[in-house]
Amino acid sequence: MKYLGLLDAEALGRAMPMIRSRAAARLNARNDPAPAGIRSTIPASAVSLKHEEVAHIGFFTTRAYELHHPLLGGGQSPLVRREVFMATDAAIVLPYDPQRDRVLMVEQFRMGPFGRDDPLPWMLEPVAGRVDPGETPAEAARRECREEAGLTLNRLERIGGHYASPGCSTEYFHCFIGICDLEDGAAGLSGGLDGENEDIRCHLLSFDAAIALLETGEADNGPLIVSLLWLARERARLRASA
């Protein structure tokens, strides 16, 4: 009902896959909250929502909120006005071959760096993609590896989950290392799926070369940095069990 009067039938049909994915992400958040061993256990139900509206709807959606929230020291905040970028859950997976001790990264043009006026808006990243409704994050990770890199994973090692930018976005990343065979032929161009306007190059890097990207700063996005740091911590175990 939030979109009533905002979209005609044709536009609503185009938007429906993302609407469903955002709804699935909200269910994931409600059903699988992170632990609260240190942070406050004040529930979301304690927030007094005064007004909510769809500020923008396209492929992505922005919502505007007016609310009061409980203060950590007691009492209520003044009226807070915020806009939130409504995104979906995504599966992030860095393919790793423990026998050859190398990883696969994908390179593609990214609108975020382009919109920030970054002179080099092509990024090195793990394989990533939206978690579709009815799909688990692990299933999405395996599917995206097939679609983007032509890889079949032997198993998944879960890194964890995290919000991409909790101050302004609902986007949530489910992160994995994908154990697989990375033969020399895995590198090169991959078109991704027809109809998704994907232009992807796959890169094979030794573990040492991949870690060096942290030192040079060429690893400049959160998913890649998190994945490489986790792999550095767990690499010996993964290689010993290969």
- Identify any residues that bridge with 61 across adjacent strands, giving them in sequence order: 57, 86
Residue 207's pLDDT is: 99
To the nearest whole percent, how much of the chain has pLDDT over 70? 95
At 77, which amino acid appears? Answer: S
Residue 122's pLDDT is: 98
78 and 142 share a domain?
no
191 and 235 share a domain?
yes
pLDDT at 1 over 60: no
Please give the tally of structural domains in the chain.
Answer: 2
Query: Which secondary-structure segment (H or E) carries 165?
Result: none
pLDDT at 3 over 70: no
- CA–CA gap between residue 164 and residue 171 (Å, rounded): 6
Write down which residue in 86, 106, 138 finishes a domain. Answer: 86
- CA–CA gap between residue 202 and residue 214 (Å, rounded): 19
Residue 193's pLDDT is: 64
The 10s digit of each residue's pLDDT in 99-136 is: 999 999 999 999 999 999 999 999 999 999 999 999 99
Give the N- to C-terminal CA distance of the chain in Å, as an integer: 51
Residues shown for the chain: 242
Residue 195 belongs to domain spanning: 89-240
User: Is 1 within a domain?
Assistant: no
The 10s digit of each residue's pLDDT in 29-75 is: 999 999 999 999 999 999 999 999 999 998 899 999 999 999 999 99
Active site residue 215: no
150 and 216 share a domain?
yes
Residue 5's pLDDT is: 62
Which entry of 107, 196, 198, 218 is annotated as an active-site residue? 196
The 10s digit of each residue's pLDDT in 183-230 is: 998 888 775 666 667 899 999 999 999 999 999 999 999 999 999 999
60 and 127 share a domain?
no
